[in-house]
Structure 1
Amino acid sequence: MDVLGIPMGPVEVTNVERPSNSYPIIAQRRKHVNFFSTLPIVGKIVDFIEASNDCGRMFILSFLVVFNTIMEETKKSSTCNMSFLPSLTSNVSIDHMNWCGS
């Protein structure tokens, strides 16, 4: 993955079978992009990224959601893959995570 520059750090990315609002990062993410009534789909996340002037944590999380949906596992009906989000705790550095692990 050196070609794409994807970090392969020591911190493993773990996936949760069914991420829900019981995980604070999922609840925060859904609230921030107003996905209370529908499942998040890739197109809506891309629209959010394009319309946003924010280059902070929400931009990074949005980018990672699109990246993981495309590169790791595409879900049915273009819904986003957010199963990795609970592993993004506030004390972990995203560039120290192993985004290429299984």
Structure 2
Amino acid sequence: MRLFDKNEKHKWVDDLFKGNDKLKSLIKPDQRNKLRAKCYDIVDTEGEEAVIDYLNNIYSKIDLFEEKQFEYMIESHIADKVYKSYITDGISRLDKINGRFMASQI
């Protein structure tokens, strides 16, 4: 489908966003509006296929996050424990500032 009128293109983008639970679940309304505006720009300059590619890339990132969310929670919990271990073992204050970063690397 090739849309020529700018209003048609923007309505087409709006239709892509309607009822999209995947975007509603993770992206705040103001961020969705920015994303919609970005899609308007893409459809105006590059066309419909570019918008679909762009949104598919975003959806794949959301899917990856949803798949890995539990693992991220576990890794964060472990990093917090390692950080607390650094603190209680008497590491200097300067090292405490970087403790969380070091813990996350472990």
Structure-1-length-normalised TM-score? 0.30
Q: Hey, which of these two has a bigger chunk of helix by percent? A: 2
Larger RCO, structures 1/2 (Cα 8 Å, 6+ apart):
1
Larger radius of gyration: 2
